[in-house]
Chains A and B, each alone.
Chain A
Amino acid sequence: MKKVNGDGFGRLLEALADEATFGMSLDDYQNPIPDDVDDIREQHRNEMMQMASLIQLSFLRRDEPACQEMPDRVRSKIMNKANEFLSAQKISNNVAEIVSLVDKKSQ
């Protein structure tokens, strides 16, 4: 098991733990992350954030008053956003299709 303090990996974990608990963002971390662990930084960053989310869900499941149904007015707003998203996606797909047709014709 890696030590928590006193080595580069430990410092990386501390920084990621701070970030996952929004103590500070990784970019603002005062104690520079050594280069030797920089290549695994994103992998561990994702793992730490994922674990923080699982902890959040663990507490939520035991907190029934906090488990609430999304109000209908919020749902309506999100449905509007969904329609905007789908329209934008359709335009993007159409553009991609036209570009592809043009490419084929030019060959």
Chain B
Amino acid sequence: MVPQTRAARSSFGAAVIYRTLLDVSQSDNLEFAKDARVALKTILERISSGEKAAVKECIDAYGSLIWSLARRFLRNEADAEDAVQDVFIALWSSASQYDPSIASEITFISTIARRRLIDRIRKAGRQPVTESIDNENNSHPQPALASRLEQSAEVEKVANVLDSMSPENRDIISMSLYEGYSHSEIAAHLELPLGTVKTKVRRGLIHIREQLQVTDHVASDMRG
């Protein structure tokens, strides 16, 4: 019996995989174990191997994430609708490029989404931000998305580095990378010279990159 709502189906799917793993650990049935390994393949790997159901699962699993990123970045709802469709087509088409040893699925997907959103802004020409997502009438909060992001170790590491930065530098990074403001919009908003904003954004990003490499090296030394 498959649950009716999308959220319930998602939990149901996780429970099925967990149950399958438990069964495999108690079973000598090799065919069954093979089925369980198939169940452990990521959605993108399954799309890449031509599994039709995985294409639709991808929408259920990542639709809200991509929608939320698009709404935060583009603000205009109609633009976000078009952008989300572009992102999914790009995802399905590039699923074979996904390598789980390089990044988690959620990171790969959000990177493709980010590239597409930036391309869209560049092609359309920069439009001023006029709409606040907080005032949107049709929004349906999805707290499960935030808690899902809380569970990602990669996201956690980056969040720790962001926490260690000064509030001013963190705000500039947020405006630039998360809220989708251009450097000149940030400069106008914060009443800072454009060159200062550019330098702060660049240095902030490079600092985070370096800190993450240090963290990885320390973790690797401790393991090694």
Contact = CB atoms under 8 A, between A and B. Distances in A.
Interface of A: 1, 4, 13-14, 17-18, 20-23, 25, 46-71, 74-75, 77-79, 81-82, 85-86, 89, 93
Nearest to A64: B146
B81 interface: yes
B65 to A, nearest CB: 8
Contacts, number: 178
Nearest to B73: A56
Given A71-B67, A85-B93, 9 more contacts: A1-B210, A21-B183, A49-B114, A51-B158, A53-B113, A67-B64, A68-B68, A74-B63, A74-B81
Contacts of B52: 86
Given A23-B198, A52-B205, A64 B143 contact: yes
26 contacts: A17-B202, A18-B198, A20-B177, A20-B205, A21-B205, A22-B121, A23-B182, A46-B111, A49-B111, A51-B209, A53-B110, A53-B111, A54-B110, A55-B173, A57-B107, A57-B110, A58-B162, A60-B69, A60-B178, A61-B159, A65-B133, A68-B67, A69-B141, A74-B84, A75-B63, A82-B56
Interface string B177-202: 11000110000000000000010011
A63 B177 CA distance: 14
Contacts of B103: 50
Interface stretch (B22-30, B36-44, B147-155): B147-155
Interface residues of B, number: 66
Contacts of B205: 17, 20-21, 48, 51-52, 55
Given A20-B205, A21-B205, A56 B178 contact: yes
A75 B60 CA distance: 9
A74 B113 CA distance: 16
Given A52-B114, A66-B71, A67-B145, A78 B182 contact: no
Contact of A60 (B50, B63, B72): B72
B115 interface: yes
Nearest to B108: A50
Contact of B139 (A1, A52, A68, A93): A68
B174 interface: yes
Contacts of A21: 176-177, 183, 201, 205
A51 B84 contact: no
B138 interface: yes
A81 B90 CA distance: 11
A18 B204 CA distance: 11
B208 A67 contact: no
